[in-house]
Each structure stands twice: as structure tokens, then as C-alpha cells.
Amino acid sequence: MKTITMRQIAIFTLLTVTGSAQNIYAEQQRGNIYDRNNIPLAESSVDGVRQYSSGESISHIVGYFAENKGRYGLEKIYEKELAGGNNLTLALDSRLQNIAYASLKASAQSGAVIAMKVDSGEVLAAVSVPGLPLTNFVKGISQQQWTSLLEDQTKPLLNKAVQQAVPPGSLFKFVTAFSALENNLITEETMLDCNEVYTVGEKEFRCWRHQGHGKINLKQAIALDCHVFFYQLAEQLGIDKLVQTAKELGLGSKTGITLLYEKKGIIADKESRELIKKKLPWNKVNTILVGVGQGYNLVTPIQIARLTTTIASSGKTFTPLLVNKITDSNDQTIKQYHPEIISDLGSKNNIFSTLQKGMETVANNKFHQLFRKKYPEISVAAMGGVSQVFVPEEYRDKRADDLPWEYRNHRWFSCYTPAKNPQIVITVFIDHGGKKGPLSAEAVALDILDKYLPTEENYKNSVIQ
Ligand SMILES: [Zn+2]
């Protein structure tokens, strides 16, 4: 396929408009896109060729400009402003974006990372691996290159930060816990019994721990990732209350981040499309599976990052803020965007405090041990999850490591730090596991924090400039 390069377009434009005032766009150089520290992410050189300094790492956010028009990402969304010569300044920190992309890419073939500022919902990083080969798009992509991108099983054309919805796994236990506390089904102290097996009608469901966990409270159930504890809560709450709480916490709807094609995920209720398709009524089994994050519910990485921010901030749900301001060529601000709180559950402060304690208790795992070794005085709070992938019959006797990539489970990890004065949330999603085994998502989060955070001495005051 014959393609036209950006340079050819620039020359063509120059030839057609020289000496005439007909085309204002062509005389006005396209505006630049900067990160929060004024580092250029997209800029036009003198001959009009668009340069993307962070390349693949930021491709799904900034997008690209080709054939004289913004075609994807912010280049497309803000076409009018950029074409008119105005500049965008993002909330994004390109240093963190590049660190997160490199960390994820080293550990996984496919996945997403989001970093959010807890007090404002500003998006400091939003990474999707693999990124787009921007140079090819800017030059003009061939049919062959396009077909190979379409057929790639790691789906490079998908912005997984906002467009991939999968079951939340154990992360949903925080919603179930919130619902149980909010509806006064239990208190922080209530002890429930896990004796490994939980029965619904004739069906048996097992905790992951052989012989069960015995009598435990909520904090322990979170720390131990017990299933039976949450099966009990879910069955007693019923699906309607679980749905209500999930929606209250911002799941099941778009977050409103200014990116294209965001998915809203699914919070399944009695009218679940999946069941209607199968002509089956909603039952208790569906409810308890939802309660531990393995049912019909689907969430996106940006939703989980925002949920983590809501927990860390004791109830504030923000619209994730990606663009901070638009300025003209004289650096005068034309439009300033402000953090937008869409709901504040501050009155339920005590419930959030219980969830926070649960997330800090998860601190006994390897992630926290490694984090503490590096930053002995700084606390961290975290939650992890596995979302199960359907495995065809012929592969069911295989060990996880021996399964083909596409049948391995997805992995989630979301954390905030410092636990006592939360500033930053990091959410990691890895499509079909990762190269580093069961702790792959934790390892990515740790690697990012390790490379991004300053030394402990100045950490507390300078996590984010
Ligand atoms: Zn258990």
C-alpha cells in the first residue's frame, strides 16, 4: 500500500498555502503537549513533523497525528485546540510513565498500570503494554503492519488502562466488606467460621486453604484472602445490596477520564445479560461468586485505581484528571481543569478506616516485606487479586506454568503509600499472569515505586512535585 509521509504532507501544505491567508491552520503551528513538569510529549518541528519524545510508552494517551489531523488519543480529542496552536499540559508525570512502562514490559507481554494522586485524582501515569509503534502510524501504516497489529494476541491496539474489562478477583472483597459493614451485617470484630467448605444447596465451594482458616474477623479474612468468609457475607447480603454498594463506589460506570473508548465494565444484577442469554434465573451461586470477584462482574484498571483512591482518601471518588490546562502560544492559560469529586462518602469514614486497616494488614506478604526493607519507616497498604480465565477441558490437568499464555489467569495488584498519609496509588493489571509467576503484579508495583520514589529522607515531603 502506498503511504504518504508526514514530511510530504508538510511540504504539500507549504506549497498550497504559501502567500495566501486562506488556510489559517497551516500558518499556525500545531500546539504541543507537555507533561506536568513541562517536558514535551508531542511537539512539531519547524517543518511540521510531529515528534513524540516518549514513544511507545505514552502512545495510548497522546495518540498520534497523521495526514494533517489528530487520529487517536489526546491528539484527536483536542484536535481543535492543538490545530489552533494551543498547548496542552497534562497531569501526567512522564518520568513515572516511562518507569511504569519499562517495568511492566519487562514482566509482562500485556497489561496496564495506572498511578493516581490521592488528593486530586490526577492521573500521574496510565500505561498500556504493548504500546503502539508510533513511528509507523505517523509515517503512514501499511496494510501488512495493520493486519499484524490486529492479529497480535497481546492486542497492541487496545488501551488496556481503560478498554479492557475483566473480573476483579479478590479486589471485589473490599466492596463486599464495605457492603456488609454499611448494612450492619457485621462489625470489625465479628468472627465468622471458615472450615474450608461452603455449601449452597447441593453445591460445594472451597476456600483456597485446605482445612480452612477457622474463626476469623474481617481484617484477618482480608489479610488471609479467605473465600468462605466472603461467601457468607455475600449470601446474607444478597445481590441487590452488593450491586448498590459497587455502584456507590464507582464501579459499573465510566470514570469519565478524557480518553477514547472507555469501557464501563459490568456490575451484574438479577437482570444479568449473561444469564438472560442462557435463559437462567439469578441464583445464590451467582451471588456468592460475585462476592469474591469471580462472577459476571467486569472492571477496568482505571476503575480499580479510582476505587483504591476512594479507599485511601476515606471516601472521595474523583473523575480521573488527565489534562491540567490549555495555554496559548504566549503561555497564557485559556482553560484550567480542576479536580472533580463526583461523590464523597466521608460520613462513612469508620468503614473506610476498617478497609484501610485490612489493606495494611496484607502488609505481611512479600511485597510489604520488600517495601519495608527499602523504606523502613514508610507504610504501604495493598490489595491483590486473581481473575480466573476459562480453561478448556483438554488443559484442565495442566499446571499453571504449563498452560498456553491465553489460558493463564489475569493478575491484579493495587496499593497506596504512605498508608498513614496516602499520596499515590499504583494499580497493576497483568493479562494472563506474567513472566515472574504468582507475584508478577506485586513485583511490577514494587519496581515502579523503587525507581520512582526518592530516598527515604526526603520521601515524605516530595513524593510528587
Ligand atoms: Zn478461608
With a CB cutoff of 8 Å and minimum separation 6, the contacts of 313 are 118, 119, 422
Instruction: State yes or no: pLDDT of 164 exceeds 70.
Output: yes
Instruction: State yes or no: pLDDT of 6 exceeds 50.
Output: no
Query: Is the distance from CB of 436 to CB of 442 less than 8 angstroms?
Result: no
Spatial distance between the Cα atoms of 16 and 26, rounded to a whole number of angstroms? 9
13-72 pLDDT per residue, tens: 333 333 333 333 445 789 999 999 999 999 988 777 888 988 899 999 999 998 889 999
- CA–centroid distance, residue 221 to ligand 1 (Å): 7
Domain membership of residue 186 as a residue range: 165-299
Residue 185 in any domain: the answer is: yes
- CA–centroid distance, residue 224 to ligand 1 (Å): 7
- CA–centroid distance, residue 193 to ligand 1 (Å): 8
What confidence category does residue 380 fall into, taking pLDDT thresholds of 50, 70 and 90? confident
Number of domains making up the chain: 1
Residue 284 in any domain: the answer is: yes
Residue 218 in any domain: the answer is: yes
- CA–centroid distance, residue 194 to ligand 1 (Å): 5
What confidence category does residue 11 fall into, taking pLDDT thresholds of 50, 70 and 90? very low
- CA–centroid distance, residue 195 to ligand 1 (Å): 7
Residue 147 in any domain: the answer is: no
28 in helix, strand or coil? Answer: coil
Amino acid at 323: V
Residues by chain with Cβ below 5 Å of ion ligand 1: 194, 207, 213, 226, 228
- CA–centroid distance, residue 348 to ligand 1 (Å): 27
C-alpha cell at 154: 497481546
Instruction: State yes or no: pLDDT of 339 exceeds 80.
Output: yes
Instruction: State yes or no: pLDDT of 168 exceeds 80.
Output: yes
- CA–centroid distance, residue 338 to ligand 1 (Å): 44
| 365 torsion bin: left (phi>0), alpha (psi -120 to 50), beta (else) | beta
Residue 189 in any domain: the answer is: yes
What does the pLDDT average to over 135-160? 90
Spatial distance between the Cα atoms of 161 and 184, rounded to a whole number of angstroms? 34
- CA–centroid distance, residue 170 to ligand 1 (Å): 13
pLDDT, position 27: 54
Spatial distance between the Cα atoms of 344 and 236, rounded to a whole number of angstroms? 27
Residue 248 in any domain: the answer is: yes
pLDDT, position 395: 85
Give me the CATH number covering residue 270: 3.40.710.10
Give 156 or 21, the one with higher predicted confidence.
156
- CA–centroid distance, residue 83 to ligand 1 (Å): 58
Query: Is the distance from CB of 175 to CB of 304 less than 8 angstroms?
Result: no
Residue 230 in any domain: the answer is: yes
Long-range contacts made by residues 77-80, C-beta under 8 angstroms, separation at least 24? 77/258, 77/259, 77/260, 78/323, 78/326
Residue 190 in any domain: the answer is: yes
Query: Is the distance from CB of 320 to CB of 257 less than 8 angstroms?
Result: yes
- CA–centroid distance, residue 275 to ligand 1 (Å): 28
Give 463 or 77, the one with higher predicted confidence.
77
- CA–centroid distance, residue 419 to ligand 1 (Å): 26
Instruction: State yes or no: pLDDT of 464 exceeds 50.
Output: no
